[in-house]
Amino acid sequence: METLVMPAINFAAIMPETILSIVAMVLLLLNVFVPGEQKAYLAYLSLIGIVVAFFSVVSGWNAPLPMQEGFNGSVLQDNFSLFFKAIFLISAGLAVLISDHYMVKEECNYGELYPLILFATAGMMLMASGTDLMTIFLGLEVLSVSLYVLAGYNRSNIKSNEAGLKYFLLGAFSTGFLLYGMALTYGATGTTKIAKIASAAALDATLSSNPMFVVGMLLMAVGFSFKIAAAPFHMWTPDVYEGAPTPMTAFMSAGPKAAGFAAFIRVLMVAMPTLKADWSDLLWILAVLTMTVGNIIALSQNNIKRMLAYSSIAHAGYALVGFTAGNGEGTAGILFYMLSYAFMNIGAFAIIILVGKKGEPNNNVEDYAGFGVKHPVLAMIMALFLFSLAGMPPTAGFVGKFYLFSAALKSGYVWLVVIGVLNSAASCYYYLRVMVYMYMKDPVEEFDWMKLSPAIWASIAISAVGVIVPGIVPSIILQLAQKAILL
């Protein structure tokens, strides 16, 4: 009997994931053992877990290589994944802060929400640090399965049911494509490890014209495009975003989108640089389609959640512009943009939650008429988020877009940048339309929300700071992002 050699494990490489999973399991048990309808304590406990995980992420920054690698090369907690993990934790934390208020209002205050958010976040982290197709797949599924439930969380609401079911059916369908792509890549290279795929492709020049390898890359791109909601794989997004409980829409648009980008970038840039000619053309088309489809359809939307869903498709398109560039600046731009997008989008959704009544009958743009007169402070903050989404200075949205587009220019994609800028200009229309209603129309009805919870205020304040500070002094975040690129 041959003896086995234990592969290097290194639990430090999955510390944040472990912390979140343990906290999530404890919360799951607390939820069934502690009686009572009051679930806010679960929110605060999960916040503690998120903060502890955040410290573990911070402490891993710039760690030496042996400390980053774990589980026989299946995970790599490098700066790239740490930056993404910070984005996931921030969006999870903000989502937790805005949840309790909403869930009480909509009478679906079951405590499982918080463990599910934490599990989804752990899945995202695994996706970002996975350096084995297996790990990436598992992370993606932990994330997706949690998100299907979160989308359909308000189980007595027909819209939420539909959102969950639709997301589930289309998500599982796209998983099939992703998986088939992984299988073909495995067949072509004989390994599922990202680094080994890259070295196999570098050693064997015929591999880059091997149909199995190329089709594998294409199918994986389809799967990831679905997760980041890139056109033409965006069909699920509007319905799911509109139907899902608003805090979960906010969470979905920030964290999982970034996670999709993390895995997508790592697979294409690290494992398949030999196919760069193929995938940069593909990304070019995806970026143009995604920006244009998202912005044009958003112009005609009246429901504000649906409008932000199309806007989120368009924002994936802007990030794809940076990805198409295929250089370090582009990656740094995506990192910066995903972080600012988490702040501005969750902030905007937090205000939508405050304005929304039970059952969300008043989520249309017209319902914001006179908001600026009745609630000047909130309206001003909402305007800030909308300015940032539209990409106007001095907000983080402007700086992020600037870096993404200049990275693409540097790689010579002039037309792509022109289309991007035109799209960005078109998007101003629908963001400014909300502002026109807020400031230039008379209020139709009262804004009668429940008593403002301090948690929502905290999330709005944090988001506002997260939009303004990187907008004025972008160098702090940008320097971190530049240390986090994959090169």
Partner 1 sequence: MLEKYLILSAILFSIGTLGVLIRRNAIVIFMCVEMMLNAVNLTFIALSKHLGNIDGQVFVFFVMTVAAAEAAVGLALMIAFFKNRESIDVEDINVMKL
Partner 2 sequence: MLGAYLPIIVLVTIAILFGLGSLIFSSLIGPKKPSEVKLAPYECGCEPVGSARERFSIKFYIIAMLFILFDIEAVFLYPWAVVFKKFIAAGLGPFILAEMGVFIVILFVGYIYVWKKGALEWE
Instruction: Point out which residues bind partner 2 (CB under 8 A).
Output: 1-6, 25, 28-29, 32-33
Shortest distance, position 115 Cβ to partner 1, whole Å: 14
Shortest distance, position 123 Cβ to partner 1, whole Å: 11
Residue 28 touches which of partner 2, partner 1, none (CB < 5 to 8 A by kind)? partner 2
Residue 1 touches which of partner 2, partner 1, none (CB < 5 to 8 A by kind)? partner 2
Q: Which residue, 171 or 391, is less far from partner 2 as judged by CB?
A: 171
Shortest distance, position 21 Cβ to partner 2, whole Å: 8
Per DSSP, the residues of 193-261 read BHHHHHHHHHH-GGGGG-HHHHHHHHHHHHHHHHHTT-TTS-THHHHHHHHS-HHHHHHHHHHHHHHHH
Residue 238 touches which of partner 2, partner 1, none (CB < 5 to 8 A by kind)? partner 1
Shortest distance, position 6 Cβ to partner 2, whole Å: 6
Residue 5 touches which of partner 2, partner 1, none (CB < 5 to 8 A by kind)? partner 2
Q: Which residue, 26 or 373, is less far from partner 2 as judged by CB?
A: 26
**Contact status, residue 47 vs residue 114, Cβ threshold 8 Å:** no
Residue 186 touches which of partner 1, partner 2, none (CB < 5 to 8 A by kind)? partner 1
**Contact status, residue 238 vs residue 306, Cβ threshold 8 Å:** yes
Shortest distance, position 30 Cβ to partner 2, whole Å: 11
Q: Tokens 């600046």 map to which residue?
A: 329
What are 132's strand-pairing partners? 193
Residues that bind partner 1 (CB under 8 A): 133-134, 137-138, 141, 145, 148-149, 152, 155-156, 158-159, 161-166, 168-169, 172-173, 175-176, 179-180, 182-184, 186-187, 190-192, 238-239, 242-243, 297, 306
Shortest distance, position 3 Cβ to partner 2, whole Å: 4
Residue 29 touches which of partner 1, partner 2, none (CB < 5 to 8 A by kind)? partner 2
Pairing of strands 75-76, 69-70: antiparallel
Q: Which residue, 39 or 101, is less far from partner 2 as judged by CB?
A: 39
Per DSSP, the residues of 247-297 read HHHHHHHHHHHHHHHHHHHIIIIII-GGGHHHHHHHHHHHHHHHHHHHHHH
Q: Which residue, 28 or 307, is less far from partner 2 as judged by CB?
A: 28
Residue 2 touches which of partner 1, partner 2, none (CB < 5 to 8 A by kind)? partner 2
Q: How far apart are CA 303 and CA 390, in angstroms?
A: 18
Shortest distance, position 271 Cβ to partner 1, whole Å: 15
Sign (positive/negative) of CA torsion 194, 197, 203, 206?
negative
* Joined tokens for residue 189: 């290279």
Cα 483 to chain centroid distance, Å, stands at 21
Cα 287 to chain centroid distance, Å, stands at 17
Q: How far apart are CA 315 and CA 308, in angstroms?
A: 10
